[in-house]
Structure 1
C-alpha cells in the first residue's frame, strides 16, 4: 500500500496559539467596516476566490497572524499554523509607473472636489472613477493581477493562511485608506505633495538679465509728494464704469458634482433650473 503525504494521513489539527498576534476587530459577520475595505473583499470575491476566503476568517479573529507588512506592490505576512514554524505569506499586486500615476494625480488635481478631500486626509468614496477616467483600475481587475503564495503544504489558493492575511489587510484599510494607493505604488505623502504642486499657480516668467540692455529706457516715476500737495486731493477724472460680467442665473447648478439623485427621471439640476430663473425674473 502506497503511503500518502503526511498532511493527508493526519486528521484535523488545531493551530498553535500565538501570544500577541494580530487579531481582527470584528468578532462576527463581515470583516472591515469602510467602503474601501468592503470593496477590496468584494473584488476578490468577484475574481472567484471569495468562497475560499472564509477559511481564514477564524485564523484572522484568533490572532494567528504574527506580522503583516504592506509595501508598493506587495503584502507579506507570517501566520502560525499547526506546525512549529510559522508560514510565510506573500500577496503581489502590480504597481503603476510614473506616467500612470502622473495621469491619476493630474485628474485628482484638476478636480477641486477630489483635491480638497484628499488634502484633508479623506478618501472620496468614488475614488475609483478617477482611475477609470484615465484607463486604470484601482483594485485588481482580474485574477492575473494577484500573485498569492504561502509556504504551507495546502494546494488551495488562497489557503487559510493567505485568507487570514487578506482579511487583516482589508481591515487595515479602515484605519488608513491610503494603504490601497500605497499598494499600487504611491504613498500618501508623495501623492499629496504632487497634488499640491499640480494645483499651485505657475510662477511668472522672469526676464532674461542679458536682454535688459535691449529694453527701452524706463519712464520717469511720479513727482515727489511735496511738489503736488496743492492738487493731491483733486480728482484725476471720472472713475471708470465697470459692467458686471453676464453670468447665467443657473451657473451655480453647473458647478455641482454629479449626483445620482433623480425625481421622475430628471436630475436635481434639471429640476432647480426653472426655480432659479423664476427667482431671477422676480
Structure 2
C-alpha cells in the first residue's frame, strides 16, 4: 500500500497497481536495453538461504539503517526492483516508484589482511565450502564470515548509497530496496558476495587443506543426494582421478527409462 502525492492531497495507489506499473516499465526498458534481472523475493521472506539471510541480518544490525529498511523490504516484496546487477565493488539497480530511479551502491573491497584471516579461518574445512551450495557451514566458519568487523559483509563505513530520487537521506527507500534485493539474489548466487567484495572464492578452496578429505566429503554429499555439479558451483575443475570419478558416477541417481522406450526396444 502506498501514497503518491498530487498537489497537496495524497492519492492512494494499490500494490497491484504499482506492480502492474513496474512490469510495464520493465518491459519498456528491456525493449531498449535488453533483458533485465529483477530481484524476486520468495513468499513472505526476502531470503531463505544462509547467505541471503546473513546479508539481510548484517544490514539490520546497524541503527542508522533501521528507519529506512522497512520501506525497502516492502518494495522488494512488491516486485518494484525491476533490475539488479552485482559487480565488483558495486550494486546497480532500477527501482520503480513514482518513476524509475537509478540506484548505485558502492562497496569497498575487502581488505587484504581481512581476507587472509578469513582464508585461515576456513583452511582445512572443505566440507563447509562444498556445503556452500546449500549454506551448510560449520559454526566456526559461520562465525568467521558473519563477524561484524572481520567477516565478508560490509560495514556502513564501507558503503556509499547513490540514488537519482530527490530524497536527501543517505539511505533512501530505493537504495534500501536494492540492498534487500541483493539478499534475495544471494539465495541463488551466493558467489556474488565474493565478487562484490573483490575476492576470489576459489582461494578458499585452495586453502581448504587435504584434497583426499575434500573428495571424501564430496562423495558423501553426492551419495546423500545433496549436491549437484560441484565444479559449476565453484567455477573450477575438480581433478578426482579415474577411480574416484567412476565412484561418483556410480553414486549419482540413475535416470529411469521411459516406458515407451522399453516397448520400442522390445519390438526391435
Q: What is the aligned partner in structure 2 of residue 45 from structure 1?
A: 60
Q: CA deviation at 1:172?
A: 1.4
Q: Where does structure 2 lack aligned partners over 5 or more consecutive residues?
A: 27-35, 213-268
CA distance in structure 2 between the partners assigned to 1:41 and 1:120 by the alignment: 20
Indicate if the aligned counterparts of 2:46 and 2:76 stay in contact, CA closer than 8 A: no
- When normalised by structure 1's length, the TM-score is 0.55
- Equivalent residue number for residue 75 of structure 1: 91
Distance 1:185 1:172, change over 3 A: same
- How far residue 37 of structure 1 moved from its aligned partner, in angstroms, is 2.2
Give the structure 1 partner of residue 255 of structure 2: none
Residue 258 of structure 2 corresponds to none
**Whose radius of gyration is greater, 1 or 2?**
1
Q: Give the whole-Å Cα distance in 1 for the aligned partners of 2:94 and 2:146.
A: 34
For the pair 1:34 / 2:49, whether they are aligned, the reply is: yes
Equivalent residues of 1:149, 1:162 under 8 A apart: yes
Which residue of structure 2 lines up, in the alignment, with residue 155 of structure 1? 168
Q: Indicate the residue corresponding to 2:207 in structure 1.
A: 195
Deviation, structure 1 residue 128: 4.3
The answer as to whether partners of 1:74 and 1:92 remain within 8 angstroms in 2 is: yes
Residue of structure 2 equivalent to 1:168: 181
Q: CA RMSD in A?
A: 3.2
Deviations 1:225-248 (A, max 9, x none): xxxxxxxxxxxxxxxxxxxxxxxx
- Work out whether residues 65 and 77 of structure 1, in 8 Å CA contact, stay in contact via their aligned partners in 2: yes
CA–CA separation in structure 1 for the residues paired with 2:40 and 2:86:
17
Compared CA separation, residues 12 and 128, structure 1 to 2 (3 A): farther
What per-residue deviation string (whole Å, max 9, x for no partner) do you get for residues 38-85 of structure 1?
Answer: 2222222221213321212332123222211112221111112213xx
Q: 2:129 aligns with which of 85, 95, 118?
A: 118
CA–CA distance in structure 2, aligned partners of residues 41 and 195 of structure 1 = 28
Shift in alpha-carbon separation, 1:24–1:194, aligned structure 2, 3 A: same
The range that moved more, 171-180 or 66-75, is 171-180
Counterpart position of 1:90:
104
Q: TM-score, normalised by structure 2?
A: 0.57
Indicate conservation of the 8 Å contact 2:39/2:84, yes or no: no
- Structure 1 CA distance for aligned equivalents of residues 142 and 157 of structure 2: 19
Q: Secondary structure at the match of 1:82?
A: coil
Within 2, Cα distance between the matches of 1:81 and 1:200? 51
In structure 2, relative to structure 1, the CA distance for the partners of 1:10 and 1:23 (3 Å cut) is: farther
Q: CA deviation at 1:200?
A: 6.5
2:143 is the counterpart of 1:108: no
**1 or 2, which has the higher strand percentage?**
2
> Could you tell me which residue of structure 2 aligns to residue 140 of structure 1?
154
- Cα deviation for residue 24 of structure 1 reads 2.7
Q: 1:73 to 1:24 in 2, by over 3 A?
A: same
Give the superposition deviation at 1:31.
1.8
Say if 1:11 and 1:41 are closer, same or farther in 2 by CA, change over 3 A.
farther
